[in-house]
Amino acid sequence: MLQAGQSLRQVREKLGLTMRDVESASSRIAARHGNEEFFLGPSRLSDIETKGVVPNLYRLYALAVIYRRDVRELMKWYGVDLNDGAADLKLAFPTKSHRAETLQSASAVQMPVRLDPSFDTRRTNNLGRIIEQWGWVPVSYLEQFVSHSFTYGYIGTDDFTMYPILPPGSFIQVDESRSTIAEGSWRSEYERPIYFVETRDGYTCCWCTLERENLILQPHPLSPSPIRVLRHPQDAEVMGQVVGVAIRLGEWQTTDALAASPERAALR
């Protein structure tokens, strides 16, 4: 961590700040927030700059403010890159379905920046072979393509409500502008709208039917999950309709996981 400390020292010296200046500024920040953890005395700052001492999150914030730097940049100097959140999501497996907000902390994303000119969108293809170049793109640049009606969710590893259409571990895109339950008949289960619903117990994805003040949460016929009837909107709120899904296949045993799930056990 010596390199991070050296970087902090270089920034301080470029701004013409002495250790006493940092001490005074951090003292005012600590007083404003009523928390002494923000305070940086000369000896503590010296340890951070020359001995590899890692500042706590309060002092890191104070340094970012005093040095007029983005706190994410300082975190990156210490080996914590918030842009790695997307890649690290696959290393954690929450058991309950939930809204996914981790990526909101990212300042840039890695994405294809050049495709093979022969790419034909009408044909099924191997995208890995079509992508000629990957690059980092600032999130601010992508905002022009953002629809604020979208939110994102994650299907918990214990949530088999829409199995096998939406297996546990799936990421979903939800259109919040489509929160009204659609009625009608569908030619297949893939045409029937799937909704992202918030209940008192958390979130879930399911087919929905609205009967007066009751919202019927209907799972897939192959799912071990039971049908639930909840009061609407007191006990269940429809967040929106699922319009996109990312599924990772082959990394867990479907039969074993399904047999071991609490929902399956409750049916025995």
| pTM assigned to the model | 0.55
Distance CA 193, CA 150 (A): 16
Kindly state whether residues 208 and 127 are assigned to the same domain: no
Q: Which structural domain, as residue segments, surrounds residue 15?
A: 2-77
Q: Which two tokens stand for residue 146?
A: 């953002």
Give 219's DSSP letter: -
Kindly state whether residues 171 and 250 are assigned to the same domain: yes
Kindly state whether residues 65 and 90 are assigned to the same domain: no
Output the pLDDT for position 94.
83
Task: Name the domain count of the chain.
Answer: 3
Q: Which two tokens stand for residue 231?
A: 């009061």
Contact 169, 193 (CB under 8 A): no
Low pLDDT (below 70) residues in the chain: 1, 86, 100-113, 119-130, 134-148, 249-268
Output the pLDDT for position 247.
84
Contact 267, 184 (CB under 8 A): no
Output the pLDDT for position 170.
86
Output the pLDDT for position 72.
87
Q: Which two tokens stand for residue 238?
A: 């429809």
Kindly state whether residues 159 and 253 are assigned to the same domain: yes
Kindly state whether residues 174 and 252 are assigned to the same domain: yes
Give the CATH number of the domain where residue 252 resides: 2.10.109.10
Output the pLDDT for position 29.
96
Kindly state whether residues 90 and 195 are assigned to the same domain: no
> What is the helix (H) or strand (E) element at residue 171, kind and residue range?
strand 171-175
Kindly state whether residues 181 and 230 are assigned to the same domain: yes
Query: Which residues, other chains included, contact 213 with Cβ-Cβ below 8 Å and sequence gap of 6+?
Result: 231, 232
